[in-house]
């Protein structure tokens, strides 16, 4: 390489010198003779010819300068190319030196051939000397052989022929006659190839086959590795603690066996001289590890059976569902309300679903009791252990979720029932209460202004009658509190029935009192002072409307807040863009507001409830503003009739009844929010199932595609449904689809694991037959 670089530099120097000579030879003369041309004749000098010669000389000078400039530029380019060429040659030289050095290091690391190969016995026949093959066709026998050796050449040898080395002469080898005693045929020498860069040559390693024991152990390891994968899945289904410690030990033992098997394969492939000892060690390690793994799998199967019994017991005892038939009689008064009927339908469907799930858990528990696992021959049973435990866990969690939903819906049903009964009762109680207060006020006025005669007061009423009415009204107020604080539907219904009984008694007493006072007033109307006192009393009674109106306003605003989405605070354009954009909402998330969840799951129903909440809020504002207006109270009809007081009574009654409607509305929103979580749970099941790798030609894959389409159709129906009773039916269908998708996943997974185990066991049986 150094010689090549020196030659290149010498060539560059010579080439530059040659170019310099060329430029100097092509340059024009420095001085031009400007004197007049001397002619041989007597003719005068040709002035025109002289000018022409000068112009030609000047043109040659200009062309020469341009040529020199162009040549200089080409020379620069060529020099740059040569420099790049030299740099490239230097890089190649350095790289070759590194490779040569690396090869030399590798050659030094390789052990000598004498150490790696076993010593061979000394040959009985002296080795045949190696001879280089002659450069002539040896396949021509007979007398033509000498003729072919004589080459036809000219008198003078060519350059290539002169450089060829003569082949060394090989002494003739004495070939003994076949069958001669005491003489063996010499073995022809084996020419061994050489490793690159002069390294020592290696003989090919002999091919070693596994014996029957190793084939069986390897086949058992394949089955065991598949079982370890299933065991890891089973450990995820079991409670942490003991199961995790078993899994860790199981994985460690399997890893030791795998590593030892790899070492054995490496020794076999390289023809290890100590292969027999390696083989024995590997067989011992594999046998020990397989026994440890088998023992761990047995412990895991026993733990799974025990945990399965606990899961089965939990599915029966830890979950409770409402008996709808027992609620038919207590809900007789409010069953006509659509939200109450929808809750009843949901509770009924949850009870039916729980029966199906508990039956499936019973089947899985029975399967666990019948399974047993001893060794890898029972590998299919171990897969069934995992499948049964996975099914029990899912059924238990589903039952727990449905049981919580049952309690939640039952709580909403209780709130709806109480709100409905109280609103219905207040429509009857408030007129009686306001009329009774007015009667007592007139009685107080008449007693003060008119004397008592013949044991009767000026109002014609007895004190005992008024006291009885007050006591019954106070008792009714306590029963009303019992209705508000009732913890079950039966208690609320009983309180309502007592209120109805007291209300009937109060109404009869009030009618008698009103008739007596009216008769007194017909005989002797109120004086001016009495009328003023009565008006003041009516004003106090009318003042009680404010508290009821404020309560109605709070209930209506709360319902509107629940029905309004958080995104409604933005502009109309952005809101329209958000409603048109198709986004995925996680309905199972607790961070989602009630309005957003209900709107995403039940769009049309959400719109209706929101409209109703706005109407109630607007009406509450009107009632509050109307109650604030000044009213002139007086008796303007026969007896105790007062238009102003009647208007206040109607306003208070409406506010109380609308308060019940607002509370019923917010319970509907919360109820729909709970149902939307079931749609979110179905979506979660769909995502979990979709992540599993189904076989393309599996029947479960086709079934899953149909279930996906059905689920999307039911979700669309739920969004477009305008009836809350129809929503309950749709949720039942969605729950059934989600459960069916889960069963499809379990069946597909069990079949895939069983197929892998069966394939591994088939290899084990083949190894046993061999």
In tens, the pLDDT along 683-742 reads 999 999 999 999 888 899 999 999 999 999 999 999 999 989 899 999 999 999 999 999
Q: Between residues 79 and 648, which one has the greater pLDDT?
A: 648
Predicted confidence at residue 72, as pLDDT, reads: 66
Q: Is the pLDDT of residue 16 over 90?
A: no
196 has a pLDDT exceeding 60: no
Report whether 383 contacts 237 (CB < 8 A): no
Residue 351 pLDDT grade (very low, low, confident, very high; cuts 50, 70, 90) = very high
End-to-end CA distance of the chain: 63
pLDDT value at residue 173? 47
Token digits of residue 437: 């207060």
Rounded to an integer, the average pLDDT of 317-327 is 89
Q: What is the pLDDT of residues 596-605, one digit of tens each?
A: 999 999 999 9
Residue 544 CA: distances (Å) to CA of 441, 532, 668, 694, 753 = 15, 19, 29, 69, 74
pTM for the whole structure: 0.68
pLDDT, mean of residues 177-196: 46
| Contact status, residue 714 vs residue 730, Cβ threshold 8 Å | yes
Give CA separation, 671 vs 388, 404, 409, 621, in Å. Answer: 34, 13, 6, 26
Between residues 60 and 66, which one has the greater pLDDT?
A: 60
Q: Which whole number is the average pLDDT over 123-132?
A: 45
- For residues 666-679, give the mean pLDDT: 94
Q: Which of 32-41, 249-258, 413-422 is predicted with the least confidence, judged by mean pLDDT?
A: 32-41
pLDDT per position as a tens digit, 110-127: 444 434 444 444 444 444
Percent of the chain with pLDDT over 70: 74
Of the candidate ranges 197-206, 295-304, 524-533, 691-700, the one whose mean pLDDT is the lowest: 197-206
Q: What is the mean pLDDT of residues 482-488?
A: 91
Whole-angstrom Cα distance, residue 770 to residue 766?
6
pLDDT for res 199: 46
Q: What is the mean pLDDT of residues 326-340?
A: 90
| Mean pLDDT value across the chain | 79
Asked whether residue 247 carries a pLDDT value surpassing 80, the answer given is yes
pLDDT in tens, 94-103: 888 888 888 8
Cβ neighbourhood burial of 281 (10 Å; 0-12, 13-18, 19+): middle
Q: Is-contact 409 674, C-beta < 8 A?
A: yes
Asked whether the predicted pLDDT for residue 182 surpasses 70, the reply is: no
- The answer to whether residue 166 scores a pLDDT higher than 70 is no
Mean pLDDT over 179-202 rounds to: 46
Distance CA 353, CA 319 (A): 13
Tell me which of 57-66, 166-175, 322-331, 515-524 is least confident.
Answer: 166-175
Dist CA 674 CA 152 (whole Å): 109
In this predicted structure, what is the pLDDT of residue 556? 94
The span from the CA of 381 to the CA of 301, in Å, is 9
% of the chain with per-residue pLDDT over 90: 44
Q: Is the pLDDT of residue 35 over 80?
A: no
d(CA 170, CA 132): 8
What pLDDT does 459 receive?
74
CA distances from 232 to 43, 253, 309, 692 (A): 125, 14, 20, 17
Is the pLDDT score of 390 beyond 90? Answer: yes
Residue 301, pLDDT score:
92
Does residue 603 contact residue 720 with C-beta atoms inside 8 Å?
yes
> Could you tell me where the DSSP H helices lie in 485-527?
489-523
Region at 460 (left for phi over 0; alpha for psi -120 to 50; beta for the rest): left
């Amino acid at each position: 390489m150094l010689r090549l670089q020196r030659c290149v530099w010498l060539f560059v120097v010579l080439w530059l010198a040659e170019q310099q000579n060329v430029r100097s030879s092509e340059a024009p003369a420095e001085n031009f003779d400007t004197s007049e041309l001397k002619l041989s004749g007597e003719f005068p000098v040709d002035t025109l010819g002289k000018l022409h010669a000068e112009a030609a000389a000047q043109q040659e000078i200009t062309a020469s300068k341009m040529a020199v400039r162009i040549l200089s530029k080409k020379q620069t380019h060529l020099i740059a190319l040569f420099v790049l060429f030299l740099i490239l040659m230097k890089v190649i030289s350095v790289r070759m030196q590194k490779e040569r050095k690396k090869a030399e290091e590798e050659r030094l690391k390789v052990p000598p051939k004498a150490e790696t190969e076993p010593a061979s016995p000394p040959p009985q026949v002296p080795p045949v000397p190696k001879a280089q093959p002659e450069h002539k066709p040896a396949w021509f026998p007979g007398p033509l052989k000498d003729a072919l050796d004589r080459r036809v050449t000219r008198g003078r040898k060519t350059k290539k022929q002169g450089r060829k080395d003569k082949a060394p002469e090989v002494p003739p080898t004495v070939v003994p006659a076949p069958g001669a005693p005491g003489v063996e045929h010499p073995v022809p020498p084996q020419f061994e190839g050489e490793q690159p860069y002069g390294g020592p040559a290696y003989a090919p390693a002999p091919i070693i086959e596994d014996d029957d024991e190793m084939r069986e152990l390897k086949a058992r390891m394949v089955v065991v590795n598949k079982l370890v994968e299933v065991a890891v899945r089973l450990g995820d289904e079991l409670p942490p603690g003991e199961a995790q410690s078993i899994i860790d030990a199981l994985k460690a033992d399997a890893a030791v066996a795998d590593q030892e098997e790899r070492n054995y394969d490496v020794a076999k492939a390289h023809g290890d001289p100590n292969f027999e000892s390696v083989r024995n060690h590997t067989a011992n390690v594999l046998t020990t590890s397989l026994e440890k793994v088998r023992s761990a799998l047995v412990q895991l199967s026993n733990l799974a059976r025990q945990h399965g019994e606990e899961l089965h017991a939990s599915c029966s005892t830890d979950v409770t569902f409402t008996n709808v038939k027992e609620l038919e009689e207590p809900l007789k008064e409010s069953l006509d309300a659509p939200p109450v009927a929808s809750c009843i339908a949901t509770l009924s469907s949850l009870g039916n679903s729980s029966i199906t799930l508990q039956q499936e858990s019973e089947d899985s528990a029975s399967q666990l009791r019948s399974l047993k696992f001893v060794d890898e021959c029972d590998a299919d049973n171990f897969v069934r252990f995992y499948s049964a435990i996975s099914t029990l866990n899912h059924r238990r969690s589903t039952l727990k979720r449905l049981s919580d939903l049952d309690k939640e819906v039952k709580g909403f049903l209780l709130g709806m029932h109480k709100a409905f009964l109280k609103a219905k009762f207040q429509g009857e109680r408030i007129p009686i209460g306001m009329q009774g207060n007015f009667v007592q006020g007139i009685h107080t006025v008449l007693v003060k202004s008119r004397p008592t005669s013949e044991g009767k007061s000026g109002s014609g009423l007895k004190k005992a009658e008024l006291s009885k009415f007050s006591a019954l009204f106070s008792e009714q107020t306590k029963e009303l509190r019992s209705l508000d604080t009732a913890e079950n539907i039966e208690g609320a219904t009983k309180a309502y029935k007592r209120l109805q009984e007291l209300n009937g008694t109060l109404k009869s007493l009030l009618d008698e009192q009103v008739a007596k006072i009216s008769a007194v007033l017909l005989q002797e109307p109120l004086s001016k002072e009495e009328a003023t006192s009565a008006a003041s009393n009516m004003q106090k009674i009318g003042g009680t409307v404010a508290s009821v109106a404020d309560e109605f306003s709070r209930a209506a605003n709360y319902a509107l807040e629940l029905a309004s989405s958080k995104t409604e605070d933005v502009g109309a354009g952005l809101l329209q863009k958000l409603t048109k954009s198709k986004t995925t909402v996680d309905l199972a998330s607790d961070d989602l507001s009630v309005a957003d969840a209900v709107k995403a799951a039940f769009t049309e129903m959400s719109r209706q409830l929101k409209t109703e909440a706005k109407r109630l809020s607007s009406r509450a504002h009107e009632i509050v503003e109307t109650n604030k207006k000044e009213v002139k109270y007086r008796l303007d009809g026969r007896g105790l009739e007062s238009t102003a007081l009647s208007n206040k009574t109607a306003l208070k009654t409406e506010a109380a009844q609308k308060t019940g409607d607002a509370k019923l509305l917010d319970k509907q929103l919360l109820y729909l929010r709970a149902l939307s979580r079931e749609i979110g749970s179905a979506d979660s099941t769909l995502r979990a199932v979709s992540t599993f790798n189904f076989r393309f030609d599996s029947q479960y894959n086709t079934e899953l595609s149909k279930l996906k389409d059905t689920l999307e159709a039911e979700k669309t129906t739920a969004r477009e449904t305008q009836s809350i009773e129809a929503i309950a039916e749709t949720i039942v269908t969605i729950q059934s689809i989600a459960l069916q998708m889960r069963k499809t996943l379990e069946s597909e997974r069990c079949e895939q694991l069983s197929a892998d185990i069966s394939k591994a066991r088939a290899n084990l049986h083949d190894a046993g037959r061999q």
